Chain A
Amino acid sequence: MPLRSSKKDQPDLPALKLLANDIRQDVIRALVKAKSGHSAGSLGMADVFTALYFHVLHIDPKKPRWIERDRVVLSNAHICPVLYAALARRGFCSREDFINGLRKFGTPFQGHSNTHFNMGIETCGGPLGQGLSQAVGMALAARHDQADWHTYCLMSDGELDEGQSWEAILFAGKEQLRQLTVIVDRNNIQIDGFTEDVMPLEPLADKWRAFNWHVIESDGHNLRQIIDACEEAKTIYEKPTVILAHTIPGKGVDFMERHYEWHGKPPDPSEGRLALRELRSLAGQVTSEHE
């Protein structure tokens, strides 16, 4: 269920914070068993996914294809472990099946997320740069039907190297798609190194503004800020909004944080144990009730 405190629509931030931690642990457990997959981006976006799936989105796990639902397009679908973990915790699929089945033959938890299983995933992702165009199409459909639902597109910063991303950004600015919000995982890494070395993106906010978008910069690990940014986006009527979510790749696991080497590899069992120990104690701050 959405985690809201007694005051209507106010997020229960302490509970969300614990939940983000649970999601990170599930990601680690699944990646260890999968023996392949993408660690850094999945951990880095855990807070954004928690904010979306447990506060922001209008969705119903009992009706994954509910026509009025908000849509989430995960464009950089290699971080699908965190999507699966969030969907499982929210009740769209079995948590146990996800942890045991990630990237395994015959399971819905494919190496890149896809639409073929009725569990709340809207698009097939993988090749970078394709998600935003599809999200634009969804936002256009909503506007055409005068429907209220909102489309969220989650992208990596590395995939802003792709020309198609900018075609879509140009188009959405032209169409003033206010029912579209993009969240960029601004973690400054991509496979070959730091984004500013591989293909500099800065000044990134200015680029989006020049394409007629409303830009919000946010701490991608501050749940309050993420939720506020999503709410602000809905109040902007003449433009689509991009939230540049500044995240730390590998967030929550000390030996992974900021190391781009962890982009595309999973922890081995002993690294996994180390990571889980750190996450369970919330870096020593809190003792979790969970195992």
Chain B
Amino acid sequence: MTSPLNPHLFDADVEKIPTRNGYGDALVILGKKDPRVMVLSGDLTESTRAHLFREAFPERFIECGVAEQNMLGIAAGLALSGKIPFVCSYAVFMPGRTWDQLRVSVCYSNANVKIAGAHAGLSVGPDGATHQALEDLAITRVLPGLTVIAPCDYLETKKATLAAAKIKGPVYLRFARDATPSITTPRTPFVIGQSLVLREGQDVTLAACGPLLYEALRAAQVLETQHIHAEVINCHTLKPFDEETLINSVKKTGCCVTIEEHQIIGGLHSVVCETLSRNHPAPVSAIGMPDSFGQSGEPQELLTHYHMTAEDIVQAAKRVIKKK
């Protein structure tokens, strides 16, 4: 089997592309393939990369202005009339400001709306706490019928966007702002609802989603030099969650570290703990926001401050192994 990882992943000059670019490129492909695809933007067209679609298909692009609640409702109406709307904003605003619309207009009627929350996590850095979406996974995954995906890199975001268009029903896609390392290759499989084991090991499971998956893979490399064999899982789909892959891994390793650019409460950590407590109780430690708001700073500075780097993951892995 060919490795699902970018062979240059650990090079100093690893290719870095913002995940949102994958969304923008996929929208253009979808626009060509399916005349039902429409794109709505809330005055954030270029930064969500929807401008590529606007240029290619102006008659299917809808500018909604700074009014996200209305935008999501319009998308629901379009979907209920047979369209496949992709709605673009920042994750702090959508789902942040539009949770009620997401719940009732979209999810309760199972409207075929795809919601793109850009600039999630700490990677908006200097914009500060108000613009750092660290709660979006928690508030989306509780909604019945909503698929929730946090892709790890440019290519996976592209694949996830294409896959989202194929399933009938609402999907939330989460993107980061900054350029982040290309972890996967064109041949890395991507199936909604199927986590992917990127590296096998017997001592500890590292379950990650989003661009922080890169830190998890780096941590696994460091641990290897200390004779600790970590298994790394890309948990890109938080809902429906691939319980089987996680359970099988933890049955083998006996413990887990969750890694996400999100509040520890309510996101991947919660998904993993819920899954294990029901099926195979085991110690789990968490890398993520410790129930606090962020602040301005360079993304790397913030990741260091909030203990989300490879070095922090190494320490967390060693601690959780001791609890076995």
Select which of B65, B69, B82, B105 is within 8 A of A123 by beta carbon.
B105
What string of 1s and 0s marks CB contacts (under 8 Å) between B70-95 and chain A?
11111111111111010000000000
B98 nearest in chain A by CB position: A164
Indicate if A141 sits at the interface (CB-CB under 8 A).
Answer: yes
Q: Assess the B81–A138 pair: CB atoms within 8 A.
A: yes
Min CB distance A170 to B, Å, is 7
Contact between chains at B108 and A114 (CB < 8 Å): yes
Q: Is the CB of A115 within 8 A of B109?
A: yes
Cβ of A68 to closest chain B Cβ, rounded Å: 12
Complex interface: stretch among B56-64, B158-166, B214-222: B56-64
Residues of A within 8 A of B64 (CB): 171
Give the residues in chain B near A115, CB-CB below 8 Å.
80, 109
The prevalent SS among residues of B at the interface is helix
Q: Are B101 and A136 in contact (CB under 8 A)?
A: no
Check if A137 is an interface residue, CB within 8 A of chain B: yes
Q: Are A142 and B109 in contact (CB under 8 A)?
A: no
Picked from B81, B104, B105, B108, the residue with its CB within 8 Å of the CB of A142 is B81
Instruction: Give Cα distance in the complex from A16 to B213, angstroms.
Output: 66
A164 touches B77 (CB 8 A): no
Hey, which chain A residues are within 8 Å of B139, CB to CB?
A: none
| Residue pair A138, B77 in contact (C-beta under 8 Å) | yes
* B67:A124 contact, CB within 8 angstroms: no
Give Cα A139–Cα B100 distance, bound, in whole angstroms: 22
Residue of B nearest to A149 (CB): B81
B109 with A137: CB separation less than 8 A: no
CB within 8 Å of A: which B112-137 residues:
none
- Interface 9-residue window, one of A91-99, A125-133, A187-195: A125-133
Mask of A134-146 contacts with B, CB within 8 angstroms, 1/0? 1111111110100
Are B78 and A133 within 8 A (Cβ)?
no
Q: Is the CB of B81 within 8 A of A133?
A: no
Q: How far is the CA of A140 from the CA of B79 in the complex (A)?
A: 11
Query: A87 CA to B59 CA in the complex, in Å?
Result: 36
**Chain B residues whose CB sits within 8 angstroms of the CB of A141 once the complex forms:** 77-78, 81-83
The answer on a CB contact under 8 Å between B59 and A133 is: no
Q: Are A164 and B73 in contact (CB under 8 A)?
A: yes
Min distance, Cβ A83 to any Cβ of chain B, angstroms: 16
Given A114-B108, A124-B109, residue A134 in contact with residue B67 (CB < 8 A): no
CB within 8 Å for A133 and B62 given contacts A124-B108, A141-B78, A167-B67: no
* B residues less than 8 Å from A129 (CB atoms): 69
Residues on B with beta carbons closer than 8 Å to the beta carbon of A200: none
Q: How far is the CB of B85 from chain A (nearest CB, A)?
A: 8
Can you list, as one digit per residue, whether each of B180-216 has a CB less than 8 Å from chain A (1) or not (0)?
A: 0000000000000000000000000000000000000
Measured in the bound complex, the distance between the Cα atoms of B71 and A137 in whole Å is 9
A130 B105 Cβ-Cβ under 8 A: yes
The yes or no answer to A64 lying at the interface (CB within 8 A) is no
A269 within 8 A of B: no
Asked if B101 contacts A133 (CB within 8 A), the reply is yes
How far, in angstroms, from A114 to B78 measured CA to CA in the complex? 17
Question: What's the minimum C-beta distance from B306 to chain A, rounded to whole angstroms?
Answer: 34
Query: Which of A126, A134, A141, A167 is most buried by chain B, counting CB atoms within 10 A of its CB?
Result: A134
Given contacts A124-B105, A144-B60, A171-B64, contact A133 B83 (CB under 8 A): no
By the criterion CB–CB under 8 Å, are B78 and A140 in contact?
A: yes
**Is A26's CB within 8 Å of the partner chain B?**
no
Q: Which residues on B sit within 8 Å (CB–CB) of A116?
A: 109
> In the complex, are the beta carbons of B70 and A127 less than 8 A apart?
no
The reply to whether A133 and B77 form a contact with Cβ atoms under 8 Å apart is yes
- Does A168 interact with chain B (Cβ within 8 Å)? yes
**Contact (Cβ within 8 A) B67 A170:** yes
Q: Which of the residues A124, A127, A163, A171 comes within 8 Å of B74, measured between beta carbons?
A: A171
Please tell me which one of the listed residues A127, A134, A144, A170 contacts residue B80 in the complex, with CB atoms under 8 A apart. Answer: A134
A163 to B68, CA, bound (A): 11
Taking the closest CB of chain B, its distance from the CB of A111, in whole angstroms, is 13
Q: Is A157 an interface residue (CB 8 A)?
A: no
Give me the interface of A with B, judged by CB distance under 8 Å.
71, 73, 114-116, 122-127, 129-130, 132-142, 144, 163-164, 167-168, 170-171
Ranked nearest first, the 10 interchain pairs of A and B with the lowest CB-CB distance are: A137-B77, A133-B73, A141-B81, A167-B70, A167-B67, A134-B77, A137-B74, A137-B78, A164-B69, A138-B77
